[in-house]
Amino acid sequence: MSSTRNDNWYLDDIRITGTSLPPPPPANPLHVGGLVGSSAASGRKNWTATVTVTMHDGNHAAVPGSTLSVQWTGGATDSADTDANGRCTFTRTLSNSISSTTLTVTGATHPTLSYNDAANHSTSIVVNKQP
């Protein structure tokens, strides 16, 4: 069969507007939906910073089973998988002489979704020591 460029456009129109629609595209990209930080005393000399990260797909729905890589102020790194609610939690114990720390999401992987940090609602968060 031979067809012109115009014929192809016509066939594409039929396919898109017909009753048999193609499946929706994959819900890309994977991105950070939000970061929530908190702090708590840890004994007399330390405190603990806790950050919960939520991962989203392209429809801003929570994504379980994503493996996150993060980095804290000073260079320490950590990794965890999001749970059924698309969340994972990172904690770090710091000396009371340190008044704040920042957690930055440095990467994310998923079996089917690709990560796009440009779509992140936020990529890092500052956690201040409780007064």
- CB 79 within 8 Å of CB 68: yes
- CB 114 within 8 Å of CB 30: yes
Using rule CB under 5 A, residue 87 touches Zn ion: no
Closer by beta carbon to Zn ion, 33 or else 86 = 33
Of the candidate residues 39, 54, 56, 68, the single one contacting Zn ion (CB under 5 A): 56
Using rule CB under 5 A, residue 33 touches Zn ion: yes
Which residues lie closer than 8 Å to 65 by C-beta, 6 or more apart?
81, 82, 110, 111
Q: Which stretch binds Zn ion (CB under 5 A): 29-37, 42-50, 75-83, 108-116?
A: 29-37
Collapsing DSSP to helix, strand or coil, 37 comes out as strand
We find the least distance from the C-beta atom of residue 34 to Zn ion, in angstroms, to be 8
Window 59-78: residues binding Zn ion (CB under 5 A): 60
We find the least distance from the C-beta atom of residue 16 to Zn ion, in angstroms, to be 27
Q: In what order do the strands lie in the sheet with 77-81?
A: 77-81, 67-72, 100-109, 124-128
Q: Which stretch binds Zn ion (CB under 5 A): 46-54, 56-64, 76-84, 101-109?
A: 56-64
Q: How far, rounded to the nearest angstrom, does the alpha carbon of residue 112 sit from its chain's CA centroid? A: 14
Footprint of Zn ion (CB under 5 A): 33, 56, 60
